[in-house]
Chains A and B, each alone.
Chain A
Amino acid sequence: MTINLDAPTCPTREQRANGINAFNGKATELVERARSGQLRNCERDFQQNAGCLLNFYLTVRVATIRDSAMIVHSPVGCAAPAALYREVFRRLWTSLNRAVDFDFHWLTTNIGERDVIYGAADKLRYAIEESERRHSPEAIFILTSCASGIIGEDIEGVVSELQPRTRATIVPIHCEGIRSRIVQTGYDAFWHGILKYLVGKPRKKQADLVNVASMLSYTWQDRVEITRLLGKIGLRPNFIPEFATVGEFRQMSEAALTAPVCPTYTDYLSRGLEQEFGVPYFLYPSPIGMANTDEWLRQVAALTGKGKEAERVIKEERKVWEPRMDKIRAGFDELKKKNGGQYRIMGSLGQGRLVTQTPFFHELGVTTPVALCQDFDDLLLEDVENLIKRVGDFEIVVNTFQAAEVAHTARKHDPDMVLSCPFQGSAYKREKGMTRIHALRADGRTWSAQAGYAGAVACGNFLLQATHNRSFQNTMLAKTEDPYRPWFYEQPDPHYFHRKEAIG
């Protein structure tokens, strides 16, 4: 696959990698059908709101780029999620080495009735100039919306007109919600803009620099852990995009490699950096769980000539953390004894978590009756095949975050523990266990960590802790209503409302 940076934006995930929005069956069947090109998107007759290219969550993320300004070229509501920019990230303790003096900036063109008739290009010009007047940023990101797309705004035209007179680098990102059924297209569009406009030609190589695209679904402590581990083998992380400076984006071409935290998120960037600047990359595994962290370090080492150092570090770290993992495993073993020999956890979220979380569960000695996955595409096909080899076949439901389908799947498989997103409807109301899948991005507690060895232990302890008391979930289940009618649960198919004919 070649990335075409002459194009204004990326292809959609559907075009690029046969991305799909629905599947229900065995992992082996998913792989087989993907291999034979039989997977297709489908239309849902019943569908629930689940985020779009712009708001899953480019607004929130791009706003955190420190010396930049973001312009959301949209009606006011599309920009609203970024309203937390001044406050929420300051909750991170400065003792954790977050920048003290950050000050984020953004604007919305606030597209209104007049604009959808006469066009909003002049407002966009004004917004770019106003960003310069106000903040003298290093970069100005323009995020597009459904409205700007449908009224046919000539974003490229405005950019080429203004760039020669503008000190900041202008980076348009084509993340119109209507472009694709798969929100990952939004991330690809973001990386396309970064690669096309922002990453500079390398002035010098930085042999100890590792690009880490960490989307902060993982927390600040995960950065601390990754920094610590890389530091032990003489390497430095270049974390992007959240909290990065524009200079840190520019220098990505000088790095020794690009390493993943979430492969599906990093894919387009990693490939682009290799194609354009010869920066090597690997996509699997992420540093989630003990074995995957070992392997992540080995992959990093292989591309930086640090093989020996990595093996020494792995040995040292295992010595520290393995006994703690043993205790967690013993905790789950106790539970399993009382529970007919197994403890079943339903988790995952994106493709990235699918291929990382499932092996981590196996390390804990728990099983996964079914893996949920937001979307699926060819990019991780081999990794899923390898996963099946490691852990055996398993059920998989691809469902683009559809809350009713998740609720149905949880009832049907009735696992001992469900891990869910905070905004996944009433998912917390359960008789059996339930806990969160991830924390607020600005949660600086070691308790909330998930990456590296420290994260594996923290996350294992967190899951074990969640088994000790269920009164809140039980009470809410008993005292409040479920939003769906009983018949939906009583029939067997979580994808009951999918149209049978395949579409593009």
Chain B
Amino acid sequence: MGLTLISGEGGSLAARDYPEVAESPRFTCALGGAYSAALATYGAVPILHSGSGCGMANAHGMTYASGLNSGGPSGTTVTPCSSLIEEHVVFGGEDKLRRLIETTISVMKGDLYVVIPGCVPALIGDDVDSVVSEFKDKAKVIHVKTSGFVGNGFLGYEHYLDAVIDSLLTERPVEKKLVNILGVVPNQNVFWKGDLIYLRDILSKIGVEANPIFTDFDSLGAIGRIPAASLNLVFSPWVAHGTVKKLEDRFGTPYEAINFLPVGPKKTSALLRTVGRLLKIPKKRVEEVIAREERAAYRFVEYMAELFMVAMPHSYFAVIGDSLTVATLIRFGANELGWNPKLAIVTDDPPEEYREGIEKLLTTNLEGIFAPKVIFDYDSHRIRLALREEPLQVILGSSLEKYIAGTENEAHHLSVSYPVYDRMIIERSYVGYRGGMRMIEDMSHAFAGPI
């Protein structure tokens, strides 16, 4: 269909342009981000104080969109919800919320109850804090100060962590080898479960205990230990940077922003060296682990390499996704796989003050002669047009690119960022010494074979 303006003989009636009016943006709302984080916390029961469709919208548009996942034991239609309608808009929803919290505690097993308000209570002025405070002697109930319209799912994740810090944490003696892992946002990062598990396993190789918060059964225990860490690692170029600063203010925990996930041997070794240095792990020990792991990983790369060289050698490639995914895979493609980066499309709407840094991150320290063109956008239509401009053999993006990759770019496609409806991702992750190989396993079949 054409791209010319048909209606506009007298110009536009809209007073100005709104770039945030977008086709299929690559995130859910802040309520969805907080809801995802609460669902990721084993033993936590989210309580949505919202219209009756917010949970369902985020089941279909968030957990299912994150590699066809259900929401877990408290997810989908199990999640309590105040299901506000017009009479609550008129008379207030506080009474309904009060009764919902009370009945939820009585009927649903839980270590922690997480009240997450949506748009309706914010617009009608419910005093959620005061209702939640009535339960302080009955159960652990926290209030995530968020709403649907205040921002996207990444912000909702930060709001959830804020609520956890403000309501649940107290000083703990510092444990020297304990680090917290933050910044990997459940569901917005479609590999979050596997990523956290692999990060913990990798760090354990040099004697560091990682607290990924979300993957333990004893989530409340894991949350309680947050102040005991001697270091906070935030795996994102921008998400949760405010959170780790807040933890530094409250508990004096230093932090390190790691703006990539360790996909492939090179970056995994880099992570181990960084953490080893920060936690004063003997260098010899770290280097021994690195030498052993790299040797084992590259041994198996040999099984992959020959047909990889047939199927997709030195490909021009694009990565579309949140800052962390894009930073990770542009680097992995350029520096380990020998691909040529053409396009880096950042879809998580980073705050203005971080953008220059992210652009620099995406265009420097890359092998080969190319630095990718960097675009900050989450509008799937403009993203599609931008992809058409480039010759590409590989598109690492969302399942929104699945069909247009082939027909409009002749590119091989793999879903690695939200939304992902074309593959099931449960513990899958590309993190670690062998993680990059798993990515090649997932995508090299299309053009590989004996010639």
A residues with a Cβ closer than 8 A to B are: 43-57, 59-60, 75-88, 90, 103, 105-113, 115-116, 122-123, 125-127, 129-130, 132-137, 145-147, 150-151, 161-162, 165-167, 177-181, 401-404, 421, 423-426, 480-485, 488, 497, 503-504
Contact of A54 among B8, B53, B55, B380 (CB under 8 A): B53
Mark out the residues of chain B between 118 and 170 whose CB falls within 8 Å of any chain A CB in the assembled complex.
118-120, 122-124, 148-153
A47-B83, A133-B5, A178-B51 known, 14 other contacts, Cβ within 8 Å: A45-B99, A46-B80, A47-B52, A47-B100, A48-B79, A75-B29, A103-B1, A107-B23, A123-B21, A134-B1, A165-B7, A181-B83, A403-B77, A485-B106
Query: Within the complex, what minimum Cβ distance (angstroms) separates B3 from chain A?
Result: 6
Please state if B52 and A49 are interface contacts (CB–CB under 8 Å).
yes
Would B81 and A90 count as touching, CB distance under 8 A? no
Known A426-B73, A481-B109, A484-B109; contact A403-B24, beta-carbon cutoff 8 A: no
Chain B residue with the shortest CB-CB distance to A58: B53
CA distance A85 to B422 in the complex (A): 12
Digit string of B38-58 for contact with A (CB within 8 Å is 1, else 0)?
000000010010011111111
Interface segment out of the listed B11-19, B364-372, B388-396: B11-19
A425 in contact with B152 given A122-B16, A134-B381 (CB within 8 Å): no
B215 interface residue, CB < 8 Å from A? no
Q: How far apart sit A456 and B19, CA to CA, in the bound complex (Å)?
A: 50
Q: Which residues of B contact A147 (CB under 8 A)?
A: 119, 123, 148-149
Chain B residues whose CB sits within 8 angstroms of the CB of A46 once the complex forms:
80, 99-100, 103-104, 107
Residue B74 at the chain A interface, CB threshold 8 Å: yes
The one of B58, B106, B109 in contact with A77, judged by C-beta atoms closer than 8 angstroms, is: B58
Q: Which of B70, B80, B102, B403 contacts A48 (CB 8 A)?
A: B80
Q: State A48–B78 Cα separation when bound (angstroms).
A: 6
Which residues of chain B are near A503, meaning CB under 8 Å? Answer: 87
Q: Chain A: which residue is nearest B60 at the CB level?
A: A81
Asked whether, in the complex, the Cβ of A404 is within 8 Å of the Cβ of B25, the reply is no
B120 in contact with A77 (CB, 8 Å): no
Q: A49-B55, A426-B78 are in contact. Are A129 and B107 (CB under 8 A)?
A: no
A contact residues around B8 at 8 Å (CB): 129, 133, 165
- For residues 357 through 395 of chain B, which have their beta carbon under 8 Å from a beta carbon of chain A? 380-381
Interface membership of B319, Cβ < 8 A? no
Among residues of A, the one whose C-beta sits closest to the C-beta of B402 is A87
Cβ B21 vs Cβ A52 within 8 A? no
A111 to chain B, nearest CB (A): 5
Residues of A within 8 A of B100 (CB): 45-47
CA distance A78 to B64 in the complex (A): 15
Establish whether residues A177 and B51, one from each chain, have CB atoms under 8 Å apart when the complex forms: yes
Interface status of B404 (Cβ within 8 A of chain A): yes
- A167 CA / B1 CA spacing, docked (Å): 14
CB distance from A116 to the nearest CB of B (A): 6
Instruction: With a 10 A CB-CB cut-off, give which of B21, B61, B120 has the most chain A CB atoms.
Output: B21
> Is the beta-carbon distance between B86 and A122 smaller than 8 angstroms?
no
Residues of B within 8 A of A105 (CB): 23, 381
Nearest CB of A to B204, in Å: 26
**A110 & B22 in contact (Cβ 8 Å cutoff):** yes
- B75 neighbours in A (Cβ, 8 Å): 425
Docked Cα-Cα span, A115 to B21, in Å, equals 12
Question: Could you list 14 A-B pairs, sorted by A, with CB under 8 Å?
Answer: A47-B80, A47-B100, A76-B28, A83-B65, A87-B400, A106-B24, A109-B18, A110-B25, A122-B14, A126-B16, A127-B18, A129-B5, A129-B14, A133-B5
Q: Bound complex: CA of A105 vs CA of B21, how far in Å? A: 13
Q: Which residues of B contact A (CB under 8 A)?
A: 1-10, 12-18, 20-25, 27-32, 45, 48, 51-62, 64-65, 70, 73-89, 96, 99-100, 102-104, 106-109, 118-120, 122-124, 148-153, 380-381, 399-400, 402-404, 419, 421-422
For residue A87, which residues in chain B have a CB less than 8 angstroms away from its CB? 399-400, 402-403, 421-422
In the assembled complex, which residues on chain A have CB atoms less than 8 Å from the CB atom of B58?
A: 77, 80
Whether B22 and A108, one on each chain, are in contact in the complex, defined by CB atoms closer than 8 angstroms, is: yes
Q: Considering the complex of A and B, which 7 residue pairs feature the smallest CB-CB distances, nearest first?
A: A80-B61, A52-B53, A49-B55, A77-B29, A177-B51, A46-B103, A126-B14
Q: Are A51 and B6 in contact (CB under 8 A)?
A: no
Q: Are B83 and A77 in contact (CB under 8 A)?
A: no
Contacting residues, chain A, for B5 (C-beta < 8 A): 129, 132-133
Q: A81-B61, A87-B399, A113-B150 given as contacts; is B76 within 8 A of A423 (CB)? A: yes
Tell whether, in the assembled complex, residue A177 and residue B23 are in contact, meaning their CB atoms are under 8 Å apart: no
Q: Is the CB of A83 within 8 A of B13?
A: no
A55 touches B83 (CB 8 A): no
By a CB distance below 8 angstroms, the chain B residues around A166 are: 7
When chains A and B are docked, how far (Å) is the Cα of A104 from the Cα of B1?
A: 11
In the complex, what distance in Å separates the CA atom of A258 from the CA atom of B14? 40
**In the complex, are the beta carbons of A132 and B6 less than 8 A apart?**
yes
- What are the residues of chain A within 8 A of B18 when measuring CB–CB? 109, 122-123, 126-127
Chain B residue numbers with a CB within 8 Å of A126 are 12, 14, 16-18, 21
Contacts of B45 in A (CB 8 A): 483
Question: Which residue of chain B has the shortest Cβ distance to A164 in the bound complex?
Answer: B7
- On whether the beta carbons of B48 and A49 are closer than 8 Å, the reply is yes
Partner of A53, one of B53, B109, B400: B53
Chain A residues with Cβ under 8 A from B9's Cβ? 165
Look across to chain B and name the residue whose beta carbon is closest to the beta carbon of A165. B7
Chain B nearest CB from A129 CB (Å) reads 6
Name B88's closest neighbour in chain A (CB-CB).
A178
Complex CA gap A75/B376 in Å reads 20
In the complex, are the beta carbons of A76 and B25 less than 8 A apart?
Answer: yes
Partner of B1, one of A127, A135, A402: A135
With a cutoff of 8 Å between Cβ atoms, the chain B residues found around residue A402 in the complex are 77
Given contacts A54-B53, A82-B24, A110-B21, contact A77 B76 (CB under 8 A): no
A84 near B56: Cβ-Cβ < 8 Å: no
Indicate which residue in A178, A180, A484 contacts B120 across the interface (CB closer than 8 Å).
A178
Complexed CA–CA distance, A69 and B437 (Å): 41
Tell me the bound Cα distance from A398 to B26 in angstroms.
Answer: 37
Instruction: For A134, list chain B residues within 8 Å (CB).
Output: 1, 3, 23, 381
A55 touches B103 (CB 8 A): no
A146 touches B60 (CB 8 A): no
Is there an interface contact between A108 and B51, defined as CB atoms closer than 8 Å? no
User: Which of A86, A135, A497 gathers most chain B CB within 10 Å?
Assistant: A86
Most buried by B among A78, A111, A147, A504: A78
Q: Report yes or no: A165 in contact with B24, Cβ–Cβ below 8 A.
A: no
Bound-state Cα–Cα, A86 to B21, Å: 18
Q: Across the interface, which residues of B come within 8 angstroms of A178, CB to CB?
A: 51, 84-86, 88-89, 120
The answer to whether residues A50 and B78 also contact, given A77-B28, A77-B29, A129-B5 and a CB cut-off of 8 A, is no
Residues of B within 8 A of A136 (CB): 1-2, 4, 6
